[in-house]
Amino acid sequence: MRAILSSLVSLALPPRCPGCAAVVAADHRFCADCWSDLTFLGPPWCAGCARPFEHDRGAAALCGTCLADPPRHDGARAAVAYGPVAKALALRLKYGRRTAFAETAARLMQRVLPDGVDLLVSVPLHPWRLWGRGYNQAALIADALGRRAGVAVRHDLLRRAKATPSLRGLGRRARAKAVRGAFAVDASGRAALAGATVVLVDDVFTSGATASACAAALKRAGAARVVILCWARVVEDTDADD
């Protein structure tokens, strides 16, 4: 009976490509066209922000931006470059209530999850924004990644101490100013962070302003290392949120 019901559900609601909504063979799979349009990221890349390098410069090499303004975190990683397909998944997850796409993102992000991780922490939303949206897409991705990798997830350690405006359209310095002092760790969370290697999970990495502000708060609270892990990394200039 369960098999029959499952078949009926599959016929009525077949799996859809996260990029274009075409019917696909199974959940969390992209169609051939969307899969070929994804640009998967990995070394050689900047050790600070995951910007791709054309040539291998060494595992610790930094791009010009990170050399001029070193990030507060201990490196960033992303599954894919931000492009039409990656953007479609991010927007449908963030605004379209397609919460199952958090699992889709986590499956591809697990490939670049660093070793020796103690905790996964998601970039928090302000309570008003969380109330309006109903969920935090970064928290959903962190939960899915934690289940797959067997790593503890904590959503209660990092909080937004103040609301921030949308970062879309702002330059690098304006983004950094907008999130300055926006994140904090309560005293009750310091024991869990003491000496820990933390992976901060988010959906999109743009300028790194949000990531740096979060990392600074986590390190002030005692974290030894904070590595950023996102679904998509913006490589070209864009109006994406950070």
pLDDT (0 to 100) of residue 175: 67
Mean pLDDT score of the chain = 89
Comparing 9-18, 58-67, 91-100, the range with the smallest average pLDDT is 9-18
17 & 57 share domain: no
CATH number of the domain where residue 137 is located: 3.40.50.2020
* Whether this model's pTM surpasses 0.85: yes
Cβ count near 145 (within 10 Å): 25
Cα–Cα distances in angstroms (integers) from residue 82 to residues 39, 203, 209, 241, in the given order? 8, 10, 17, 12
Is the residue at 239 inside a domain? Answer: no
pLDDT (0 to 100) of residue 12: 54
Which residue range forms the structural domain that includes residue 146?
38-233
Round to whole Å and give the CA distance between 113 and 222. Answer: 21
Is the residue at 242 inside a domain? Answer: no
Contact of 74 with 223, CB cutoff 8 Å: no
Helix, strand, coil shares of the chain, percent, nearest 5, are 40, 15, 45
Longest dimension (CA), the chain: 63
157 & 86 share domain: yes
51 & 80 share domain: yes
Round to whole Å and give the CA distance between 30 and 16. Answer: 8
Backbone dihedral angles phi then psi of residue 209, each to the nearest 5 degrees:
-65, -50
